[in-house]
Every structure is written in C-alpha cells, then in structure tokens.
C-alpha cells in the first residue's frame, strides 16, 4: 500500500479534479483505493455525491480512532471508497498542533487503513502549515499541480524552499502542468522552461478543458462522464506516469 497526496500551496489549480480522476483510474486498474478529502470545502466529497458530515467534529483524524473507519463511504465505483470531508477539518491545524508528535498525527491516523487499501489519495487544502507537514510525512509521493504562470511557479519554488527548511527531500515531490492553455504564449514559454530545467516535473500535462470544469455539473470523474474525451485521455496518461512512479520500487 502507498499514499499519494495531491497538494498545492496555491488554490484553484485543479487539485480536487486531479485527486478524483486519479483515484477513479486507480480503482479501475484494480487497486483498492481510498480518497481522503482533507479540504474543508468538501469538493471531492461533493463530486462523489456523498453528504459531508455536519455534526461530528473531526474526531477521527485527530484521534486516529475507529471512528475514522466508520466514516468511510463507498462511492458509486467499485474499489473506490471516500473518507468524506468534515467541516471541522477547518480546525485540523489547531488540533494537530495541540498533540504530541504533531507532525505525524495524520500518518498515525491513517495507519489502520493502510492494510485495507492499496492506495490512499489525499486531497489537500491549499496551505503551508502544520497540516501540510502532516501530509508530507504521511505520503510516499506528493503530486503538485502547477499552472504555467509566474505566480504559480513562484509558489512552487516557495514550496520547495519550505520543504528544504523542514529538512525534507525535494525528491518526494512531483509536479505536473495543469490547466495548460497552449494558445497562451506565456504558458508555452513557462512549460518549456519548466520541463527542461526542473527535475521532478512529469511529462504528462492536463490541458484547460471545459469537460474538467463540468465535473461539478455531472458529479462524476471525467472518464465516466466523457470517456473518450481529451480530458479523460490526459488524466489516463497522467495516471499511467504516476502509477509507474508509485509502484516502481516498493
């Protein structure tokens, strides 16, 4: 079993779409998969038509108790389960902060689930803080969607610096270009320079496509709502690359 985080310290870069589509493709490939919605906005939960829990606090994640396993919901797809977002994830930072081994709390909480799933995908909110550190220690691989804009690239560099400061290896991070519009000159320029000069940038890219935006409408992964579409094929290519990377050496 392994854990993949889809993370960015910048919002609106296509994190949830990536997490949802990769989770679906993994499940289709026969991996028993769990997607964990860590984002208080509960987008992934919404995509899978699961009702976010409003009442209970994020006890599960914070205490790593059995509550967590009980909160898991099956999705509409075989091999794919969801740990729904909880609005009180908003308070996660604080809660993690108050406990011992505060940077490993998430890792510990997920421990009992690792036996059950081949792949756990974390859909993370856009923050750099204690939650981010928890995500990094809980994941084998952190996948960062990157829009080819100056600001986005700057945020990515900040992330790498942050990791260095925290004494983490930059090898844990892979980036891929997301929401790419090839007709925009800046996108082309940044794409070229990033893919040639930076290590850890995947070859697959996800174009800016309306089929992806419409996920909110269909509430289904792209390969389900538009199986032959460019969007579906792009995610498939990305998954193939990520899969090779994840399962290459144990």
Partner 1 sequence: MGAENSTEAKRVPRVETAGQEEAGRGSERTRSQSALDSPTRFRLPDGFDRAQIGATLAKRYTIRAEATLIGSWTIYDTFDWRLSGQSLTLQWSGGDLVLRGLSDGEVLHRCPLASPPGFAWDLPEGPLRKQVSSIIEVRGLIELVTAHTWSSAFRVLNKDEKTVARLVWDEVRPTASEEGPPFESYLTVLPLRGYGRQARRISTILRKKLTVASRKETVFYSAFRAFGQTPNTYSGKLRVRLSPKLPAGEATRVILRQLLEIMRANEPGIKADLDIEYLHDYRVAVRKSRSALSQLQGVFPESKTEHYKRKLGALGKLTNDLRDLDVFLLAEAYYRSILPPALKDDIAPLVDHLRAFRAKALSTVTEGLEAKGYSRILKDWYGFLHKPATAKSAAKGGVPIINLARKRIYRRYCRIVRSGTEILNHTEDELLHDLRIECKKLRYLLEFFASLFPPKQMNRITSQLKRLQNCLGEFTDLSVQQHYLLSIAEGLNLEERQARRVLVATGFLVETMARKQMDIKARFAGIFREFASPAHQKQCQLLFARKKGDES
Q: What CA–CA distance (Å, rounded) separates 98 from 36?
A: 22
Question: Which range touches partner 1 (CB under 8 A), out of 101-109, 111-119, 150-158, 192-200?
Answer: 111-119
Alpha-helical segments (H) within 99-226: 105-114, 130-138, 150-165, 185-197, 210-213, 215-218, 222-225
The yes or no reply on residue 32 touching partner 1 (CB under 8 A) is yes
Nearest partner of 39 among 82, 5, 89, judged by Cα: 89
Instruction: Indicate which single residue of 52, 57, 59, 71 sits in contact with partner 1 (rule: CB under 8 A).
Output: 71
CB of 81 to partner 1, least distance (A): 5
Question: Which range touches partner 1 (CB under 8 A), out of 9-17, 69-77, 168-176, 195-203?
Answer: 69-77
The yes or no reply on residue 73 touching partner 1 (CB under 8 A) is yes
Q: What CA–CA distance (Å, rounded) separates 74 from 245?
A: 27
The yes or no reply on residue 250 touching partner 1 (CB under 8 A) is yes
Closer CB to partner 1, 19 or 146, in the complex? 19
| SS3 of residue 77 by DSSP | coil
The yes or no reply on residue 218 touching partner 1 (CB under 8 A) is no
Q: Which residues contact 43 (CB under 8 A, 6 or more apart)?
A: 16, 37, 85, 123
Closer CB to partner 1, 11 or 216, in the complex? 216
Angle at alpha carbon of residue 21, lines to 214 and 137, rounded to 5°: 130
Please report, in angstroms and rounded to a whole number, the separation of the first and last CA atoms in the chain: 9
Strand partners, 82: 35, 73
The yes or no reply on residue 81 touching partner 1 (CB under 8 A) is yes
Instruction: Indicate which single residue of 69, 94, 170, 186 sits in contact with partner 1 (rule: CB under 8 A).
Output: 69
Question: Which range touches partner 1 (CB under 8 A), out of 5-13, 26-34, 120-128, 168-176?
Answer: 26-34
The yes or no reply on residue 78 touching partner 1 (CB under 8 A) is yes
Site for partner 1 in 222-241 (CB under 8 A): none
Instruction: Name residue, tokens 């000069």.
Output: 197
Strand partners, 35: 82, 121
CB of 223 to partner 1, least distance (A): 15
Q: How many chain residues bind partner 1 (CB under 8 A)?
A: 25
Q: What CA–CA distance (Å, rounded) separates 150 from 136?
A: 25
The yes or no reply on residue 72 touching partner 1 (CB under 8 A) is yes
Closer CB to partner 1, 196 or 249, in the complex? 249
The yes or no reply on residue 74 touching partner 1 (CB under 8 A) is yes
The yes or no reply on residue 249 touching partner 1 (CB under 8 A) is yes
| SS3 of residue 72 by DSSP | coil
Point out which residues bind partner 1 (CB under 8 A): 29-32, 49-51, 69, 71-76, 78-79, 81, 116-118, 246-250
């Amino acid at each position: 079993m392994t854990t993949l985080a889809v993370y960015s310290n910048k919002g609106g870069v296509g994190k949830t779409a990536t997490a949802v589509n990769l989770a679906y493709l993994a499940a289709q490939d026969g991996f028993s998969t769990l997607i964990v919605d860590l984002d208080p906005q509960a987008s992934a939960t919404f995509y899978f038509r699961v009702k976010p829990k409003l009442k209970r606090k994020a006890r599960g994640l914070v205490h790593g108790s059995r509550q967590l396993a009980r909160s898991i919901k099956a999705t509409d797809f075989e091999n794919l389960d969801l740990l729904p977002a909880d609005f009180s994830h908003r308070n996660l930072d604080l809660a993690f902060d108050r406990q011992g081994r505060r940077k490993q709390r998430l890792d510990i909480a997920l421990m009992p689930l690792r036996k059950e799933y081949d792949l756990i995908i974390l859909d993370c909110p856009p923050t750099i803080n204690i939650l981010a550190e928890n995500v990094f220690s809980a994941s084998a691989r952190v996948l960062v969607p990157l829009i080819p804009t100056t600001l986005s690239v700057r945020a990515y560099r900040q992330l790498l610096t942050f990791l260095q400061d925290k004494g983490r290896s930059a090898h844990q991070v892979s980036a891929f270009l997301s929401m790419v519009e090839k007709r925009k000159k800046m996108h082309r320029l940044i794409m070229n320079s990033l893919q040639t000069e930076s290590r850890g940038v995947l070859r697959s890219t996800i174009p800016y496509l309306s089929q992806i935006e419409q996920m909110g409408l269909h509430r289904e992964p792209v390969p389900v709502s538009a199986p032959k579409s460019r969007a579906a094929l792009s995610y498939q290519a990305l998954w193939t690359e990520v899969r090779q990377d994840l399962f290459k050496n144990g």
